[in-house]
Structure 1
Amino acid sequence: MDLLEQFWFGFRGASRQMVWLVLPFALFACAAKPTQSETNKQPVAEKSAPETPDQEAVTYKPLTPELVYYILTAEIAGQRGAIGIASDMYEQAANSVDSPLLADRAARVATFTRDRARINRALSRWKEVDPNDADVQIMQIPFLIDNQQYSEAIETMDKAIALAPEKTIPYLATFAKQLSEMEDAETALPMMRSLQSYQEQSADTRFAYARLAAHYREWALAHAELDALLEEQPKHEPFLTLQSEILQRTGKPEQALDLIANVAKKPDASAELRFAYGKLLGENGHADEAKAVFEALNLENPDNQDVLFALGLLALEEQDGDTARTYFTEVLRKGDPAQQVGYFMGLAEEMSGNYDAALVWFASVPAESQRFDSAQARYIGLLADQGDMAKARQHLRLLRQERPEQARELYIFEASFLHDEGLSEEAMRVYSEALTAFPDDFELLYSRAMLAESLDDLTLLETDLRRILAIDPDNAQTLNALGYTLTDRTDRHQEALEMIQKALQIKPGDPYYLDSLGWVYYRLGDLEKAETYLRQALAVQDDAEFSAHLGEVVWVQGNRREARKIWQQALEKYPDNDILTETMERFE
């Protein structure tokens, strides 16, 4: 269920931007302790709010003119989008009075500037004013991780949990998010395991570790941790949900469904667990059952956007564009926090034959949406399907102007798009234009070389591939591509052999390189070596072209029955492969 798979890890995890200018102005009249200068400037007696049995006394301090100026200027600057000025003013305000609340505010505003120096100063001040505030500990963690101060990050996390144990779960979520942005699991996962709470076998921390392991696709680690947790709490719904997702991702869909089906069908099952069950049903082709689950959830809570979205996707799966549009319209009416529904509205309109409306929806998807690229591709493809290629290409040119940081990718997309539409010469011009802007880009050079091969321009192919090798002599993919082309399209077989052998030295066992080596030995007349390497390639990976090559070598050796068997078996798996059918026709 492809459309549902697009949704599960996108829409539910969408984050809303913080609106930071929302705290009441009176907040800053509340200070834990006035500075000496503040006391001198305002000889007004302190007043305390009356105490209640459930509330500690709060001491209110009058605002100084200086403090009022800083805060007003900061608020006005923030409302006008001048975040740097707002941060500077809040920093001065925080430095002028020992107020934890003001230091907190200054630090949170500073984070929006993305200026490391500003943020560090604000955090240092907050920590100085209120060293036992757990939130300031948490806010330091991203910067400690960025600076590779991993031990300090772990100690800071331990301290935050110790200071505010009631916030353990959100703090763990924040910590896991930071760790998930690291490049490798080998660093991130041990950091989670090093937390004091993990060592003490905290279920919350072990669950956070399992989620992080799943993020890194360390399925075995996540599965083992969850097995242990489920032995302790066999009906704990979050544990069941994550374990079922892992089983699904590791190719065990029936086990995934069996794990949560009985619990999800009980009257007291939570909406979250039933949603997870509906998701699994949808992903595994049980569309009617999934629909029944989501419709029941929708009756209970008609405002749940996740459920409405899922029902819309199921309608798309059923090719019911009108029903899908109805559900997506409801999601839009309720806010669409992920800003991706416009893309699916476009799909629904396209499915219903409303192409103009579909174009409008695809064009409306904002650049910050995760569906933006897909929407642009669909918009351009729909224009091309309607015969308006000029408008499609003009749109791509405008995108390159508006998004220069993506110009390279947009050039590649346009060239590939034109090639798929049969406009290879136009695609070649796009690649050449792109290489003017990015002259040494490997992907552009390689892509133009492959297009040149299809246009029989072997001179350009070799020029581009040798340009890559001049910069990176050990580029195995390029060595193999040039070696194979020289094998297949020229008589420079000895030169090709050396390139392919070097590629295999760099990346031993690669099936494509083994196929190339077998093919060059075939061209050199060494049929025994050719067969050996081609069989090795097929043993590593089943591939129609490998089979075509091996069958040809075996045929030339005189074993025609074996050759036919190799070809026929491949043809059953790959009936539309041109190289395979051409080879069979040539020898039969």
Structure 2
Amino acid sequence: MTLFLRASSLRPYRLLPAAVLLFAAHSMFAETPAATKAAPSTPDRASAYYHYGLAHLYEDMAVSAGRSDYATQAVEEYKLALNADPNSQLLQDGLASLYFKIGRIREAVSTAQDRIAKDPNDIGAHELLGKVYLRSLGDTQTPQSGQVLKLAITEYEKLAELKPKDVETHLLLGQLYGLNHDSAKAEAQFKEAQKVDANSEEVALNMARLYGEEGDAKRAADVLNGIPMDDRSARIEYALGATYDQLKKPQEAAAAYQRALDLEPGNLDTERGLANALLADGKLDESLKIFNEIVAAEPQDAQSQIHISEIERRQGHYDQALATLEKAKPLAENSLELSYNEALLYDSLGRYDEATAVLTKLVADTAHADGKYSDGDKANRAVFLDRLGIIYREENKTTEAVAAYKQMVDLGGEYAKGGYQGQVDAYRDAHQWKDATASAAAAAKAQPKDQAVQLMYAGQLADTGEAEQGIALAKAQLSATRTTPEDRDTYLALTQIYTRLKQWPDAAAALDSAAALSTKPDEKLYVYFLRGVLADRQKHYDEAEAEFHKALAIDPQNPTILNYLGYMLADRGVKLPEALTLIRKAVDLDPQNGAYLDSLGWVYFKSGQYDLAEQNLRKAMERMSTDPTVHDHLGEVYEKTGKLKLAVTQWERSMTEYAHSLPADADPADVAKVQHKLENARVKLAKVSPAPAK
């Protein structure tokens, strides 16, 4: 045994000539057995050790020099060693392992299987087979991957039985179960590994990854947060940041990415994560700084340049944003995201024809002649078609908008619902109420069992004078128990119907029923928002403000809630700095939204910043030309800045749009106020205008 250890000690010196190594090994043995010697009746350990030592030397040289002749000689030496000691588990496992290393997989498997046939508990043989199957799984060209996965699971199940305290075995088995879509068994293996090593980073990462893949990002975050802060590595913090990204908690994500960078400065992947989290949190300047640093370090990073352009667009630097995209184009010639951002830029600039041209091309380029699309393809097309429909609506091109939404319907599933809703909204924007109702009715007929489509039709009926029929249709969507998630959606729809009809007690009761079925944070958020709307409509402003703040505590980046609260404050002329902050954040998150631009213009007006008010209200009017409130607001600005004729024109347009609006959108008090302003302005104009010549 001592001689064998000496032979092994030569292995690190890989630069010695092969002949010297072989001579050294040869000199350690008094007798060199003949290669053709028959297998002894009793093990010849000395001869076995001799050939085993030579096999190791040839194996090392084969690996370091990449020479097949050394590999062949190593195999022959193993065979001679086995000839001297046929029952040696060490030699048999060694030969099987050598076959695996030099790529003779079939012989490796055969040798390992022979070992297992003789000894079912041969750990080395099971480990070798497990490695073979894992390698095969990594080969995407393997056609029988499902069968190979089962074989790999079988081997590692046996290894977990033979080595119950081995963390690596439990982790590998858990990963294999995950590949086999058996989450329960995967979790059980990770927990077994956790019992062995409660502080294992790999265990925590694997458990978090499993929960994330299951869609339970909160549980994943809990696992990672369970590791004491002082014990966390950069990998843990990076994974935590990615998990917070899933949870749409950009502040927490940014903090985790920053801690990862503190532990491992200069990691570009982590810097990208931090920059994206800051962007999602609306911290545009901080995000832009990091993206610029990334591009300086890696000029070929087209994705970061696209994000830089997005930030520049959201900051209103449109020409600069276009220039950045032009620089990125050669690096990402076929990037759908780049083209989509280009369309958004053209939309922001009011260059609608160019925006629709880009989007139309995106739709055409992603079309499949057979109409079959992957989930990713459907998601992309839905985004392109929806934005195309929105721009057509901004241009008052209702026919074109409806055509775009019909293509969304063809995608089926949730996208079909969005397409149906888009058609109805396009007709509503144009005040084509009969067409809107007909479109909703056609959708309800096409999908009679789809609750969301039926509720859309119910709301349209209630809005257009068929309140009882609409309410009845909505209530018909309730289940017998009235306790399902679908019932919650129905109660929320009823809340909105009753609110628009000013049936306050019924609206409150329906919302209470929805609240009782709301358990998740995002579900509670929407309940708080609707309670705020309901209180605002009844002029209970303090109560409304409190409800909106509850909602924002759950999602501080929700532009709809930010805008509603900001506008409510601005319209009353209270807390104007807070209102401006809220609305500007909403506009940053959705710069093309006409309603948000109207709110921004109105808060500037209330603050006495008339130039900014006019600038934003004009942008809003371009996108919402049929909204009477926008025309009223712009009329106020013109009247305040001495442009009385323009004010009259806007108030006349406001009255025209009110005349074509739904009863729920034309509050008599608001209409009376505009009428009063219009009459006063006409009187003022008559006083300052010269009398016509007779």
TM-score (norm 2): 0.46
- CA gap 1:346/1:462 in 2 versus in 1, 3 angstroms: closer
Contact 1:203 1:229 in 2 (8 A): yes
Aligned pairs, how many? 419
Matches within 5 A, 1:502-581: 510-511=543-544, 543=568, 547=572, 572=606
Q: 1:430 aligns with which of 440, 449, 470?
A: 470
Q: Distance in 2 between matches of 1:269 and 1:257?
A: 17
Matched, 1:416 2:448: no
Task: Single out whichever of 462-471 and 237-246 deviates more from structure 2.
Answer: 462-471
Q: Distance in 2 between matches of 1:329 and 1:449?
A: 40
Contact 1:207 1:225 in 2 (8 A): yes
- CA deviation vs aligned residue, 1:393-443 (integer Å, no higher than 9, x gap): 333213533xx3x41x32332233445xx5032x54122123134165466
Q: Secondary structure at the match of 1:310?
A: helix
The one-letter code matched in structure 2 to 1:400 is: Q
Matched, 1:215 2:272: no
- CA deviation vs aligned residue, 1:226-276 (integer Å, no higher than 9, x gap): 333334544322222222222223332112112222432456452333333
Contact 2:495 2:507 in 1 (8 A): yes
The corresponding residue for 1:381 is 425
The one-letter code matched in structure 2 to 1:326 is: K
Q: Distance in 1 between matches of 2:668 and 2:196?
A: 58
Contact 1:312 1:323 in 2 (8 A): yes
Q: 1:55 aligns with which of 68, 82, 103?
A: 103
Post-superposition offset of 1:392: 0.7
Contact 1:49 1:57 in 2 (8 A): no
Contact 1:180 1:188 in 2 (8 A): no
- CA gap 1:153/1:429 in 2 versus in 1, 3 angstroms: farther
Q: Distance in 2 between matches of 1:307 and 1:258?
A: 20
- CA gap 1:155/1:442 in 2 versus in 1, 3 angstroms: closer
Q: Distance in 1 between matches of 2:317 and 2:211?
A: 33
Q: Distance in 1 between matches of 2:260 and 2:267?
A: 9
Contact 2:531 2:544 in 1 (8 A): no
Post-superposition offset of 1:135: 4.8
The corresponding residue for 2:191 is 152
List alignment gaps of at least 5 residues for structure 1: 1-47, 62-96, 111-118, 489-499, 501-508, 516-539, 550-567
Contact 2:310 2:321 in 1 (8 A): yes
Q: 1:348 aligns with which of 388, 394, 408?
A: 388
Q: Secondary structure at the match of 1:240?
A: helix
- CA deviation vs aligned residue, 1:96-128 (integer Å, no higher than 9, x gap): x99984998999869xxxxxxxx9x99974642
The corresponding residue for 2:642 is none
- CA gap 1:341/1:418 in 2 versus in 1, 3 angstroms: farther
The corresponding residue for 2:335 is 304
Q: Secondary structure at the match of 1:438?
A: coil
- CA gap 1:585/1:219 in 2 versus in 1, 3 angstroms: closer
Q: Distance in 2 between matches of 1:201 and 1:366?
A: 45
The corresponding residue for 1:325 is 360
- CA deviation vs aligned residue, 1:184-229 (integer Å, no higher than 9, x gap): x4x4323124469x97643223211122234335445433333333
- CA gap 1:261/1:383 in 2 versus in 1, 3 angstroms: same
The one-letter code matched in structure 1 to 2:478 is: F
Post-superposition offset of 1:137: 1.3
Q: Distance in 2 between matches of 1:477 and 1:255?
A: 31
- CA gap 1:136/1:398 in 2 versus in 1, 3 angstroms: farther
The corresponding residue for 2:222 is 190
Q: Distance in 2 between matches of 1:363 and 1:252?
A: 36
- CA deviation vs aligned residue, 1:296-347 (integer Å, no higher than 9, x gap): 3332342334334433444444422123322443344798733134332465
- CA gap 1:251/1:512 in 2 versus in 1, 3 angstroms: closer
- CA gap 1:484/1:245 in 2 versus in 1, 3 angstroms: closer
The corresponding residue for 2:308 is 277
- CA deviation vs aligned residue, 1:450-486 (integer Å, no higher than 9, x gap): 6457657x6xx657866887999999989989x989x
Q: Which has the larger radius of gyration?
A: 2
- CA gap 1:138/1:199 in 2 versus in 1, 3 angstroms: farther
Q: Distance in 2 between matches of 1:279 and 1:248?
A: 9
Q: 1:366 aligns with which of 397, 412, 417?
A: 412
- CA gap 1:124/1:323 in 2 versus in 1, 3 angstroms: closer
Q: Distance in 2 between matches of 1:470 and 1:357?
A: 38
Matches within 5 A, 1:391-540: 391-401=438-448, 404=449, 406-407=450-451, 409-419=452-462, 422-425=463-466, 427-438=467-478, 440=482, 441=487, 444=490, 448=494, 451=497, 510-511=543-544
Q: Distance in 2 between matches of 1:375 and 1:436?
A: 23
The percentage of counterpart residues that share the same residue type is 10
Contact 1:107 1:123 in 2 (8 A): no
RMSD (Å) for aligned C-alpha atoms:
6.0
- CA gap 1:273/1:430 in 2 versus in 1, 3 angstroms: same
List alignment gaps of at least 5 residues for structure 2: 1-95, 111-128, 161-168, 519-526, 549-564, 575-601, 608-628, 634-665, 678-694
- CA gap 1:193/1:347 in 2 versus in 1, 3 angstroms: closer
The one-letter code matched in structure 1 to 2:360 is: R
Contact 2:271 2:290 in 1 (8 A): yes
Q: 1:250 aligns with which of 242, 257, 281?
A: 281
